[in-house]
Amino acid sequence: MDGLCDACGQQAIGSCKLCGRRLCGTHLSISGVCLDCIGGRRFNPPQKQP
């Protein structure tokens, strides 16, 4: 998998099974789900403030 982690910008190793974010080993859990989804918060990109 190529690309950078959506959380920190390091080299991504995989993506979240639920929300599809590219993630590095730090931010992707053993089960293949990101920490936000594990915590019950589906990841949404930050909204730009007007």
Backbone φ and ψ of 11, nearest 5°: -65, 125
Cα distances from 16 to residues 3, 34, 48, 49, 50, in angstroms, run: 14, 5, 23, 26, 30
Tokens encoding 48: 């730009």
Q: Do 23 and 38 meet the contact criterion of CB atoms below 8 Å apart?
A: no
The DSSP symbol for 28 reads: B
pTM of this structure: 0.64
Q: What is the pLDDT of residues 2-50, one digit of tens each?
A: 699 998 999 999 999 999 999 999 989 889 998 888 876 655 555 555 6
Instruction: Name the strand (E) or helix (H) holding 22.
Output: strand 22-23
